[in-house]
Amino acid sequence: MSSPGFFLICAIHAVVAMTCGALMMFYPTEVSAIKLHGSTPHDELLIQTSDSFSGLLLVAVGFLLIMVGVRQG
């Protein structure tokens, strides 16, 4: 049995992670402080894909946090 605040802490961290991840995936130009520029269109596509996968990873971490919080809470 874990403390009552454990689920709350997991839920807050999950919401933050999923929000940041969704913003990184769907609004990459508004979220990033500096815009990386590639020298070719292929480099630009690689940078955009990398940003999207980083956002997807944050969303996955958020789901994992929710699952851990529900399981332990």
| Alpha carbons 19 and 61: distance in angstroms, whole number | 11
Indicate the SS3 state at residue 46. helix
State pTM to two decimals: 0.81
Question: Residue type for 69, please?
Answer: G
Identify whether the C-beta of residue 13 lies closer than 8 Å to the C-beta of residue 54.
Answer: no
| Alpha carbons 13 and 5: distance in angstroms, whole number | 12
Query: Locate tokens 């480099």: which residue?
Result: 43
Q: Which tens digit of pLDDT belongs to each residue from 13-37?
A: 999 999 999 998 998 878 776 777 7
Q: Which tens digit of pLDDT belongs to each residue from 48-62?
A: 888 899 999 999 999
Indicate the SS3 state at residue 70. helix
